[in-house]
Structure 1
Amino acid sequence: MRLHRRALLGGAGGAAGAWAAQGLLPAWAQTGSRGLAPTLPTLEGPEVRLSIGHSPFTVGGRTGHAITVNGTLPAPLVRLREGQNVRLMVTNTLDEDTSIHWHGLLLPFQMDGVPGISFPGIRPRETFVYEFPVIQAGTYWYHSHSNLQEAMGHYGPLVIDPAGTDPVAYDREHVLVLSDWSFMHPHEILDKLKKSPGYFNQQRTTLSGLLSGEDGMSLEERRMWGSMRMDPRDISDVTGTTYTYLVNGHGPEENWTG
């Protein structure tokens, strides 16, 4: 069996997964899914309605607060077709501004969804209509560009089918959204990083590691890193000390399978 070329989606910056009968998950993201089929609900163009609001989110036996689209995390799969003129109506039920950026899409700049650059954002209890021609095909994703909401679950997959026959044959189609989730509020994460860029790095080099050779680094190398004011063990700003890594909203203990 060959998986569709659009099968893999990488979601960055924040997210979610649920346990209670998988109620917070769209059908395509539920474990045991046999792939996309006409019976599985997706939001297809040319007109799509999306509502942004609050939802509880549970992963690994803990529950936190998420910002979701249409009440699910990941957000609903939006499916468009090359050549369509689409209308995506986004309603904000939050008490703060929100937005949706259509990541990787070629469209008029007013529809790009980045507050302060291409439009003013979507005010609380208002609806903004994104309207543009679809001039490409492939797999993309959409997410908030407001107030670190993406890190709280405001993101989802976007699939654009080619105008003609799909050039890639496949037996079954799965959408995989790879993301991360933290029970620590993203504003608190950012605050800690601003005060100490290595706050979440718990594998730092030490004096005892230098003396014992455990760090695997010579004194000369330590001097070089020190002169650059850089930590050689800091390969990411935020690590698994606060992040849980998700597949289709499922954490490691939920073990999503398709």
Structure 2
Amino acid sequence: MNSRLGSVLLSLLMSASVMAGEYNLTVDRVEIDTGDFVKNGIGYNGASPGPVMRFKEGENVKINVTNNLDEMTSIHWHGLILPFDQDGVPGISFPGIKPGETFTYEFPIQQAGTYWFHSHSGFQEPDGAYGSIVIEPEGREPFRYDREYVVQLTDKHPHSGDRIMRNLKMMPDYYNREQQTVGEFFSDVSENGLMNTVRDRMAWGGMRMMKADVEDLQGFTGLINGKGPDQNWTGLFEPGERIRLRFINSSA
């Protein structure tokens, strides 16, 4: 009887250890090379993007986050169902993580799928503080695959997030590289007529917008898993294999 009880207890202990995972993350100053330019940024565990964090549905996770910056930081677990005080939004769910301190997030994993994590402090996220999350389901997947890749899409600009915001506040079209010229005005007059061209310019002027103002920030480099176009991130596979791609759009 004692032997059977001991066996049951051992089994329960082994099950509990499987259901609890502990992870460590550091928030660091890093160098980011896009292939077009190199800039200083912020990353996790010494790199940007940070690691792919892998959880299992049903487990309880403990994530120790150490802030190696000289400013406050935080981590928001984007899309995860968790207690509000673990959500990582400074001033709402918790105060934030001070320089040199370690904050431990603890929450149950209640879902499966593809998610991501990022800083919720200042402009640290567009400056490189992001990473991906893969959560395996408790049961069997409804499909089979031979291998998988996370494909995390983002972008980088040579300027820091703080500098970009400062420039945009000073001049909304600061980064607009397609502003119209006097020559284009006369070309439009030739094609569309004087009054139509003047009305068009006055309409845009009334909206306080440039005609080419389709986005407020130009000059960035698009990245896949931290690699620029010339660096050519590559996912290898064998002919005939079934590949699962987990796409995350974390562009700023």
TM class, shorter-length: 0.7 to 0.9
Deviation string 1:183-227 (CA, Å, 9 cap, x unpaired) is 222211110011111111111234432320299884333322222
Of 216, 229, 233 in structure 2, the residue corresponding to residue 252 of structure 1 is 229
**Corresponding residue for residue 86 of structure 1:** 61
Larger radius of gyration: 2
**Corresponding residue for residue 234 of structure 1:** 213
Q: Distance in 2 between the 1:231 and 1:73 partners? A: 34
Unaligned runs of 5+ in 2: 1-18, 236-252
Amino acid at match of 1:238: L
Contact 1:45–1:80, Cα closer than 8 Å, also in 2: no
Q: Distance in 2 between the 1:101 and 1:254 partners? A: 29
Contact 1:45–1:79, Cα closer than 8 Å, also in 2: no
> Once superposed, which parts of structure 1, at least 4 consecutive aligned residues long, lie more than 6 Å away?
214-217
Of 86, 97, 108 in structure 1, the residue corresponding to residue 72 of structure 2 is 97
Deviation string 1:35-75 (CA, Å, 9 cap, x unpaired) is xxxxxxxxx97211101111223232643212110012210
| 1:195-234 paired onto structure 2 within 5 Å | 195-213=170-188, 218-234=197-213
Bigger drift between 193-202 and 167-176 goes to: 167-176
Contact 2:123–2:161, Cα closer than 8 Å, also in 1: yes
**Corresponding residue for residue 7 of structure 2:** none
Amino acid at match of 2:224: V
Where 1:219 maps in the other structure, the secondary structure is: helix
Compute the RMSD of aligned alpha carbons.
2.1
Q: Distance in 2 between the 1:138 and 1:156 partners? A: 15
Deviation string 1:211-247 (CA, Å, 9 cap, x unpaired) is 20299884333322222222231122211x2x12111
Q: Percentage identity across aligned positions? A: 48
Contact 2:153–2:224, Cα closer than 8 Å, also in 1: yes
Query: Are positions 1:72 and 2:47 aligned together?
Result: yes
Contact 1:92–1:126, Cα closer than 8 Å, also in 2: yes
Q: Distance in 2 between the 1:195 and 1:256 partners? A: 36
Contact 2:34–2:223, Cα closer than 8 Å, also in 1: no
TM-score between the two structures when normalised by the length of structure 1: 0.76
Aligned residues: 213
**Corresponding residue for residue 151 of structure 2:** 176
**Relative contact order, CA 8 A, sep 6+: which one is greater?**
1
Amino acid at match of 1:250: K
| 1:141-180 paired onto structure 2 within 5 Å | 141-180=116-155
**Corresponding residue for residue 109 of structure 2:** 134
